[in-house]
A and B are shown apart, each in its own frame.
Chain A
């Protein structure tokens, strides 16, 4: 499973590098929040998978909704003049570390 995840990630990176897509600085900010949300969703999914409580629907919907919601929140913050994206960064950052910690513990228990 780990090999498959890594392999897919590498393929994604490769495709992304080849894509002739460039974002302007304005959108790069929202994209960065979306990327963090996506990272959080993936780690959450892996954790759920390790805990045997994985639900495909929840995982996929969580990934899509969180990603767009995070970007939308950052956009709204910009409109309001509040740096709302910081909230998203903090929340997702904390969750990523929590999930990583749990994944690590499972792996340690397993091997």
Chain B
């Protein structure tokens, strides 16, 4: 039975076996590569280097903005525009601001979970922060920061796994929301009956609000690039 057919059959099966072996090799290799602890260390190293770089760049942005401001102040032609620029920067969140306002502190429910309780309801979610920031805006807050992240017109508050992203920076509990505005109006706006703060407290989340005489809110440290929005010619309507 040592025919050509037998040899052909064995050869064909070997071909398939080779393909299977190669696929398996590749798969095992890729999985083992992921599990090597050296790789974890490597990634940790990379994260810390990149974070340091980012911090350095943030400082550079702030110092360059300061320089820009000085140049503008020294240029007589720009002096007229200074007021407009200041106002625009203020609304864009490019300058740190100071003033009276309120501080809201949010902490996850500290009590032990009873069996059958949903752990989801006892933690602070991105939607909670979003609602509170919205309430603050509605109560007339002029500048808001969540855990030191300035809320600008383009800031997001978004769930990212176990943390929350604000301005693409990760923040975690406890959440401290600072808002500058009329402290009395802000406080009453937040503590309104049936308001969002109240419902959070019902769920067991520790939500506190206190008035402050003097609050510091940092500037937005990121960049704001517009690649799609093109400003249109601004025409004042004649009456």
Q: Do A and B come from one complex?
A: yes
A28 near B10 (CB under 8 angstroms)? Answer: no
A42 at the interface (CB under 8 A from B): yes
Of the listed stretches B13-21, B66-74, B135-143, chain A binds B13-21
Distance in Å from the Cβ of B91 to the closest Cβ of chain A? 50
Within 1-29 of B, Cβ neighbours of A (below 8 Å) are at 1-2, 5-7, 9-28
B31 at the interface (CB under 8 A from A): yes
A56 near B23 (CB under 8 angstroms)? Answer: no
Once A4-B11, A41-B13 are accepted as A-B contacts, the answer to whether A35 and B19 lie under 8 Å apart by CB is no
B1: A residues at CB distance < 8 A? 49, 52-55
A13 at the interface (CB under 8 A from B): yes
- Of A13, A15, A63, the residue contacting B13 (CB under 8 A) is A63
Within 49-66 of A, Cβ neighbours of B (below 8 Å) are at 49, 52-56, 59-60, 63
B17: A residues at CB distance < 8 A? 9, 12, 35, 38-39, 42
Distance in Å from the Cβ of A99 to the closest Cβ of chain B? 13
Q: CA–CA, A89 to B6, complex, Å?
A: 27
B23 near A8 (CB under 8 angstroms)? Answer: no
Q: CA–CA, A15 to B17, complex, Å?
A: 11
- Of A22, A31, A35, A42, the residue contacting B10 (CB under 8 A) is A42
B30 at the interface (CB under 8 A from A): yes
A63: B residues at CB distance < 8 A? 13, 16
A108: B residues at CB distance < 8 A? none
A83 at the interface (CB under 8 A from B): no
Chain B interface (Cβ < 8 Å from any Cβ of A): 1-2, 5-7, 9-28, 30-31
Chain A interface (Cβ < 8 Å from any Cβ of B): 1, 4-5, 7-17, 19, 21-23, 25, 28, 31-32, 34-35, 38-39, 41-42, 45-46, 49, 52-56, 59-60, 63
Known pairs A28-B27, A35-B21, A63-B16; list 16 more (Cβ under 8 Å): A5-B10, A7-B11, A8-B12, A12-B16, A12-B19, A13-B19, A14-B22, A16-B19, A22-B27, A28-B28, A31-B27, A38-B20, A41-B13, A42-B14, A49-B1, A55-B1
